[in-house]
Amino acid sequence: MIEKAERLKRLPPYLFKEIDKKKEEALKKGIDIIDLGVGDPDLPTPPHIVEALKKAAEDPQNHRYPSYSGMNLFRDKVAEWYKKRFGVSLNPLKEVLTLIGSKEGIAHLPLAFINIGDLVMVPSPAYPVYKIGSIFAGAEIYTLPLLKENGFLPSFTSIPEAILKKAKLLFINYPNNPTSAVADRSFFEEAVQLGKRYNILICHDLAYSEMCFDDFLPPSILEIPGAKDVAIEFHSLSKTYNMTGWRIGFAVGNEEAIGGLGAIKSNVDSGVFGAVQIAGIAALEGDQGCVSQMRATYQKRRDLMVSGLRELGLLLTPPKATFYLWVEVPKGYTSQGFATLLLERAGIVVTPGNGFGEEGEGYFRIALTQREERLEEALERLRDIRNW
Ligand SMILES: *Cc1c(COP(=O)(O)O)cnc(C)c1O
pLDDT of residue 58: 98
Mean pLDDT, rounded, of the chain? 97
Do 131 and 192 fall into the same domain?
yes
C-alpha 244 to ligand 1 mean position (Å): 8
Q: Is 242 inside any structural domain? A: yes
Do 239 and 158 fall into the same domain?
yes
User: How many Å apart are CA 350 and CA 81, to the nearest integer?
Assistant: 35
Q: What's the average model confidence in pLDDT over 336-361? A: 96
Q: Quick check: CB of 194 below 6 Å from ligand 1?
A: no
Helix (H, G, I), strand (E, B) or coil at 165: helix
User: How many Å apart are CA 147 and CA 245, to the nearest integer?
Assistant: 32
Read off the CATH number of the domain in which 23 is found. 3.90.1150.10
**Closest atom, ligand 1, to C-alpha of 103:** 7
Q: Is 114 inside any structural domain? A: yes
pLDDT band, very low/low/confident/very high, at 312 (cuts 50, 70, 90): very high
Q: Quick check: CB of 180 below 6 Å from ligand 1?
A: no
Do 34 and 163 fall into the same domain?
no
Q: Quick check: CB of 173 below 6 Å from ligand 1?
A: yes
Q: In total, how many domains does the chain have? A: 2
Contacts of 146 (CB under 8 A, 6+ apart): 123, 124, 125, 126, 152, 153, 154, 176, 179, 181, 359
Q: Quick check: CB of 238 below 6 Å from ligand 1?
A: yes
Do 325 and 232 fall into the same domain?
no
pLDDT tens digits for 185-244?
Answer: 999 999 999 999 999 999 999 999 999 999 999 999 999 999 999 999 999 999 999 999
**Closest atom, ligand 1, to C-alpha of 104:** 7
Do 31 and 161 fall into the same domain?
no
pLDDT tens digits for 31-67?
Answer: 999 999 989 999 999 999 999 999 999 999 999 999 9
Beta strand 249-253 with 231-236 is antiparallel
Do 64 and 169 fall into the same domain?
yes
pLDDT(14) > 90:
no
User: How many Å apart are CA 163 and CA 165, to the nearest integer?
Assistant: 5
Read off the CATH number of the domain in which 159 is found. 3.40.640.10
C-alpha 101 to ligand 1 mean position (Å): 7
| pLDDT above 70 coverage of the chain, percent | 100
pLDDT(8) > 80:
yes
Do 234 and 355 fall into the same domain?
no
Do 161 and 121 fall into the same domain?
yes
Q: Quick check: CB of 98 below 6 Å from ligand 1?
A: no
- The domain in which residue 24 lies consists of 6-44+289-384
CB 115 within 8 A of CB 138: yes
Chain-centre distance for alpha carbon 362: 21
pLDDT of residue 68: 86
Do 277 and 294 fall into the same domain?
no
Q: Is 54 inside any structural domain? A: yes
pLDDT of residue 320: 98
C-alpha 331 to ligand 1 mean position (Å): 31
Do 161 and 207 fall into the same domain?
yes
Helix (H, G, I), strand (E, B) or coil at 120: strand
